[in-house]
Amino acid sequence: MVFISGPGGNPGFRGVEPWAEREGVLLVTINKSRNGPTEPILVSQKAVIAAAEARLRLHPCLRFAMGMSGAAQASWYLIGNRPQQSAGLLMMGQSGFNEAVPAKHVAVVYLHGEKEPNLPFIDERYGFLQRQGNPLVRRVVPGGHVDGSAKDRMELLDWMLQRQRVAHPGLSPAERQAALKALTAKVEALAGLAAAERAATATGLLELPPVAADATLRGKVLAAWRSGALEAAQAVGDVPARCRALLRLSGDARLAGGPEAAVVQKALTELRKDAATKSEFDAWTAWMQDAPQVAQARSDSAKKKLREVIDALVKRWPDSAAAAAAQEALR
Instruction: Please answer whether residues 263 and 227 qualify as being in contact, where contact means their C-beta atoms are separated by less than 8 angstroms.
Output: no
Please choose, from the candidates 250, 328, 330, 239, the residue with its C-alpha nearest in 3D space to the C-alpha of residue 279: 239
Spatial distance between the Cα atoms of 119 and 103, rounded to a whole number of angstroms: 22
Q: Long-range contacts: 251-260, Cβ < 8 Å, 24+? A: 251/288, 251/291, 251/325, 254/206, 254/222, 254/225, 254/226, 255/226, 255/229, 257/222, 258/222, 258/223, 258/226, 260/226, 260/227, 260/229, 260/230
Q: Residue 326: is it exposed, middle or buried by C-beta count within 10 angstroms (0-12/13-18/19+)?
A: buried
Instruction: Please answer whether residues 64 and 41 qualify as being in contact, where contact means their C-beta atoms are separated by less than 8 angstroms.
Output: no
Helices (H), ranges, the chain = 17-23, 38-55, 70-80, 119-132, 150-167, 173-188, 195-206, 209-213, 215-234, 239-250, 260-271, 278-296, 300-316, 321-329
Spatial distance between the Cα atoms of 258 and 109, rounded to a whole number of angstroms: 31
Residues 6+ apart with CB under 8 A from 194: none
Instruction: Please answer whether residues 230 and 208 qualify as being in contact, where contact means their C-beta atoms are separated by less than 8 angstroms.
Output: no
Q: Is 86 left (phi over 0), alpha (psi -120 to 50) or beta?
A: beta
pLDDT band, very low/low/confident/very high, at 331 (cuts 50, 70, 90): low
Spatial distance between the Cα atoms of 101 and 76, rounded to a whole number of angstroms: 7
First-to-final CA distance of the chain = 30
User: According to the model, what pLDDT value does residue 194 have?
Assistant: 96
pTM, 2 dp: 0.79
Q: Residue 74: is it exposed, middle or buried by C-beta count within 10 angstroms (0-12/13-18/19+)?
A: buried
- The mean pLDDT of 217-227, rounded to a whole number, is 95
- The mean pLDDT of 232-240, rounded to a whole number, is 90
pLDDT band, very low/low/confident/very high, at 239 (cuts 50, 70, 90): confident
Spatial distance between the Cα atoms of 59 and 259, rounded to a whole number of angstroms: 43
Residues 6+ apart with CB under 8 A from 289: none
- In the chain, where are the structural domains located? 2-167, 173-235, 277-329
- The DSSP call for residue 102 is P
- DSSP, collapsed to helix, strand or coil, labels residue 22 as helix
Number of C-beta neighbours around residue 194 at 10 A? 12
| The domain over range 2-167 is classified in CATH as 3.40.50.1820 | yes
User: According to the model, what pLDDT value does residue 318 have?
Assistant: 87
pLDDT band, very low/low/confident/very high, at 114 (cuts 50, 70, 90): confident
Spatial distance between the Cα atoms of 63 and 106, rounded to a whole number of angstroms: 10
Spatial distance between the Cα atoms of 313 and 316, rounded to a whole number of angstroms: 5
pLDDT band, very low/low/confident/very high, at 300 (cuts 50, 70, 90): low
The single-letter code of the amino acid at 143 is G
Spatial distance between the Cα atoms of 75 and 93, rounded to a whole number of angstroms: 12
User: According to the model, what pLDDT value does residue 291 have?
Assistant: 66
The rounded mean pLDDT for the chain is 91
> Is a pLDDT exceeding 60 seen at residue 295?
no
Task: Identify which has the larger pLDDT, 83 or 318.
Answer: 83
Poorest-confidence range of 69-78, 94-103, 128-137, 205-214? Answer: 205-214
> Is a pLDDT exceeding 90 seen at residue 251?
no
- The mean pLDDT of 191-205, rounded to a whole number, is 93
User: According to the model, what pLDDT value does residue 297 have?
Assistant: 57
Q: Residue 176: is it exposed, middle or buried by C-beta count within 10 angstroms (0-12/13-18/19+)?
A: middle
